[in-house]
Amino acid sequence: MISPRTGSADLLHQLDLLKVELDGPIASVRLNRPAKRNALSDPLITQLHAFFVNLPDSVRAIVLSGEGEHFCAGLDLSELSEHSVAGGIAHSRFWHSAFDQVQFGRAPVVAVLRGAVVGGGLELASAAHLRVAEDSAIYALPEGQRGLFVGGGGSARVPRLIGYSRMADMMLTGRVLDADEGQQVGLSQYRVRDGEGMAKAMALARRIAENAAMSNFAVIHALPRIADMSQSDGLFVESLMAAIAQAEPAAKDRMRAFLEGKARKVRKA
């Protein structure tokens, strides 16, 4: 059993269902159940939650991927049949807690999507901040065909990416989207060829890690909350967040560098 407050160094040795590599300010986290297409078991969810809660202080950006040919084929259905109604609610909330740490943790997350991005796998991907899709990526929400409903936060996150009607279509009819269709509707922001996803995600993560920490915090914590507010409330919170960010020493140093012509130029990702 992994304690959610395990020290970072000790924790890395316990994550047998994840492959974690630290490269300076970048953490690469790979789901490690390739024989099960990285299906999400309770122990795997526990390890994801523990990693994000205990993120090393040095990490400024995270790349999330799956070992083998698939990102994640969703819930390990062998664990579902034993739940009562109360147990099912607790299980769903357990997933919510873990995926909230992905979305609202300390560092931005870039997901690499290949092969199956299905059910709970799509729910996990939707908790990331950026998504890079390879040619092989396919997206599906088969819960409706199996007499189920999403339970890992998909009903709250996926419609914010693609809209209610598209998600309803996927659940009601079992429609499967390929990588290009997923890109068109907003499931990914970047499209690359097979085998190129990790390099692209690492390049994006390195750019993200160069940002001021408070700016990244504002984007992943304040921005989604502002989007859920009324316009007047959102504008007020925006003013607060802008004032906090620009008061940070790192922001002052960056503005000084810009005025002196030493700042990084705007460039295409």
Nearby residues of 81 by Cβ (< 8 Å), 6 or more positions away: none
Position 65 scores a pLDDT of 98
Catalytic residue among 79, 143, 181, 248: 143
Return the closest-CA partner of residue 26 out of 55, 67, 54, 69: 55
DSSP per position, 150-182: --SSHHHHHHHHH-HHHHHHHHHH---EEHHHH
Distance CA 259, CA 96 (A): 44
**3-state SS of the chain: helix, strand, coil percent to 5?**
50, 15, 35
Name the residue with higher pLDDT: 144 or 179: 179
Position 246 scores a pLDDT of 87
Buried b (16+ CB within 10 A) or exposed e, 208-219: bbebbebbbbbb
> Tokens for 7?
């020290």
Structural domains of the chain, ranges and CATH numbers in brackets = 8-209 (3.90.226.10), 213-259 (1.10.12.10)
Name the residue with higher pLDDT: 82 or 180: 180
Give the least confident one: 117-121, 132-136, 245-249: 245-249
Average pLDDT of span 120-124: 98
Give the least confident one: 9-13, 67-71, 168-172, 235-239: 9-13
Contact status, residue 105 vs residue 52, Cβ threshold 8 Å: yes
Task: Record the pTM.
Answer: 0.91
Catalytic residue among 69, 82, 123, 238: 123
Give the least confident one: 64-68, 73-77, 197-201: 73-77
> Tokens for 204?
């994006």
| pLDDT at 5 exceeding the cut of 70 | no
| pLDDT at 253 exceeding the cut of 70 | no
Distance CA 231, CA 208 (A): 28
- Displacement of CA 194 from its chain's centroid (Å): 20
DSSP label of 106: S
Report which residue type is found at 71: F
Q: Is the dihedral of CA 183, 187, 190, 195 positive or negative?
A: negative
- Give the model confidence (pLDDT) of 132-159 as tens digits: 999 999 999 999 888 889 999 999 999 9
DSSP label of 146: G
| pLDDT at 267 exceeding the cut of 70 | no
Q: How many helices (H) and strands (E) does the chain have?
A: 12, 9
As a residue count, the chain comes to 269
Share of the chain above pLDDT 70, in %: 87
Position 14 scores a pLDDT of 79
143 carries an active-site annotation: yes
Rounded to the nearest integer, the mean pLDDT of the chain is 91
Collapsing DSSP to helix, strand or coil, 190 comes out as strand
21 carries an active-site annotation: no
User: pLDDT class for 1, splitting at 50, 70, 90?
Assistant: very low
